[in-house]
Structure 1
Amino acid sequence: MLKNLNYKSIKEAQDTGKNTLVARRYDLNPNMVSRWVREYKDGKFGEVDVAVLPDIDSKELSKENEKLKMLLGEKDLEIAILRDLIKKKNPPLAEKHEVANKWIQKGYSISKVLKIIGIPRSTYYYQKNYRVEEKKVSEGRPAPGYSIQEDGQKISDEQIKEFLLEEIAGDCYNYGYRKLTKVLRRKYKLKINKKKVYRICKELGILRPQRQKKVSYPRKLARNRIITRSNQLWEADIKYGFIEGEDRFFFVMSIIDVYDRGIITYHMGLSCTGDDVKQTLKRALLKRQQYDELEKPVIRTDNGPQFISHTFEKFCEDSKIEHERIPPRTPNMNAHIESFHRIFEDDCLSRWQFETYTEAYQEVMNFMEFYNERRMHSSILDLSPKEFYQKQDSLVIKEVRV
């Protein structure tokens, strides 16, 4: 789990360019985050420093062993490369280049591989750069990641996926991508063509021929519950923000405790996958010391693609976490996270016009700290979520019905 946090903090530091900001979010030493990023760039992150080992004789022996391994490795490499060349029978330069790439990509030294094959470095790099330029010319314009409504508002592809999943779960269960395109145009006022809808449907696995597949994890519908303490029921959902200066969306996936109204943790990034959702739930369990509990919190979500992904469902099943999903078009069953998202929209996302992802990251982090630690909430005796969570054993509050 610690290693996952290290990699996540490295990724966020690279995305934002602000090591100090990321260190503040995860309560880490800024120098440590800077060192992790530096080691990650150098390809040395996670390695053990041999110099710290105490036994000098062991170090010398280790060095000798490494030399022997290197000599044997070079000989084995030479034999393997020559075998590849013999198979091709007097290969032209292009095929020699392919063989070189194969072994270089496996991590072997460029100079050693080129020496064995007999290609000058200048020739190798010329061919490599030529092919990269050729590929760049042939590639088309990258997909923008959103579609536009008739009023000019941008709707992210992730939101469109949710629209499609809701329609498939309802009256449009038997529609193909052509009819779904018409639904998106009429109901959601989207300017979208059928090719894009086909691509999105294919990504979601809802093209008609694929619906015959058995669902590995049958959906468990949310039911009415009475909540009397923290860590009984958590709700999770995804909110989209927009970066005007970069013309792209970012994602914030939050987990809220319906009893104390605290945002336990959240994921923010330029993407949000099933694995991101899984890792965020892991962090929430650890933060609330629920990871090893026999009776873990119930997690309630909508039917978004991240929440119905195999990765997330398998994690819930393996961890003995009850995951329940609300029926389509019933946001009231996820009312607490929806209410938080309205506050998040009004007090943060609509308040600022972000020019960069770094700027958005900073403002979202500031808002989350304010919401949890200082913002009064009328349903929890006008305390902040953090205050209420710490004092709830000595307070009297009505049970929460959901």
Structure 2
Amino acid sequence: MRLNLRRAAKRRLPKRERVALYVPKLPDTVWSVDFMSDALACGRRLRTFNVVDDFNREVLHIEMDTSINSHRLVRVFEQIKHDHGLPQVVRSDNGPEFLGEAFTSWLKVNGVAINDIQPGKPNQNAFIERFNRTFREEVLDQHLFTRLDDIREATHWWMIDYNEERPHDSLGGLTPAEDRNQHARRSTFGVSV
């Protein structure tokens, strides 16, 4: 039985002024991190852990496996630390992996601050969200992978292209590698590459 009841008026939120996402002035100031999920052809689930430098949108690492926990994040960041160094700040959502004791303790010991975005506000982590879309469209959705090793290899070559060959509009037509090198030449301190 349907009654003719009045619908409650939709609440309108006041228009808010958009605030642009902070773009660091130096490399390795803020790194954005996030997880993505996908599946192999057999239906087996997989996760990717993506790390991007907000300064020049350089992809620093993509880790893939069927499961990635807080301890695995520590191993990933130890590898990045050895190869590249560490940022001042890691920006992430409030995922359980980022809240795990192993990862939060490791960040504290290594002097890296964590900047958690507000729940339900992925636009506060826009650089990594935009990167995730590009990675999904150009790698995950383009191929039907049967093995984790296949997707790791495709991702490796795609990262080289993304960082070293592909110009980015947001960087004035430079690749992330060119932008980092150009910044190193301008800087009196230099930047490790």
Normalised TM-score (structure 1): 0.39
User: Which residue, out of 49, 54, 73, partners 1:277?
Assistant: 73
Equivalent residue number for residue 135 of structure 2: 344
Alpha-carbon deviations, 1:301-357, whole Å to 9, x = none? 001111111111111112221011101111011110111001001111111111222
5+ residue gaps, structure 2, are: 1-20, 187-193
Is 1:319 aligned to residue 110 of structure 2? yes
Q: For the residues of structure 1 that align with 2:22 and 2:166, how far apart are their CA atoms?
A: 27
CA contact (8 A) 2:23 2:54 kept: no
What TM-score, normalized by structure 2, do the two folds share? 0.80
| Residue in 2 that maps onto 1:239 | 36
Q: Is the 8 A contact 2:94 2:119 kept in 1?
A: yes
1:364 CA drift (Å): 1.8
Q: Contact 1:267–1:276 (CA<8 Å) still a contact in 2?
A: no
Partner SS for 1:324:
strand
Task: Give 1 or 2: higher helix fraction.
Answer: 1
Report how far residue 226 of structure 1 moved: 5.4
Equivalent residue number for residue 385 of structure 1: 176
| In the alignment, structure 1 residue 335 sits paired with structure 2 residue 132 | no
CA–CA separation in structure 1 for the residues paired with 2:132 and 2:62: 12
Q: Which amino acid aligns with 1:313?
A: T
Identity %: 23
Q: What SS is found at the alignment partner of 1:227?
A: coil
Letter in 1 for 2:37: Y
Shift of 1:379: 0.7
Distance 1:355-1:266 versus aligned 2 partners, 3 A rule = closer
One-letter amino acid of the counterpart of residue 24, structure 2: I
Q: 2:55 aligns with which of 255, 259, 270?
A: 259
Structure 2 CA distance, aligned partners of 1:348 and 1:266? Answer: 12
RMSD: 1.7
**Structure 1 residue 229 corresponds to structure 2 residue 26:** yes
Please identify runs of 4+ aligned residues in structure 1 that moved more than 3 A: none
Alignment match, 2:98: 307
Q: Structure 1 counterpart of 2:156, which letter? A: M
Specify the structure having the higher radius of gyration (Cα).
Answer: 1
Equivalent position SS for 1:351 = coil
Q: Which has the higher strand share?
A: 2
Choose from 130, 136, 150 the match for 1:359: 150
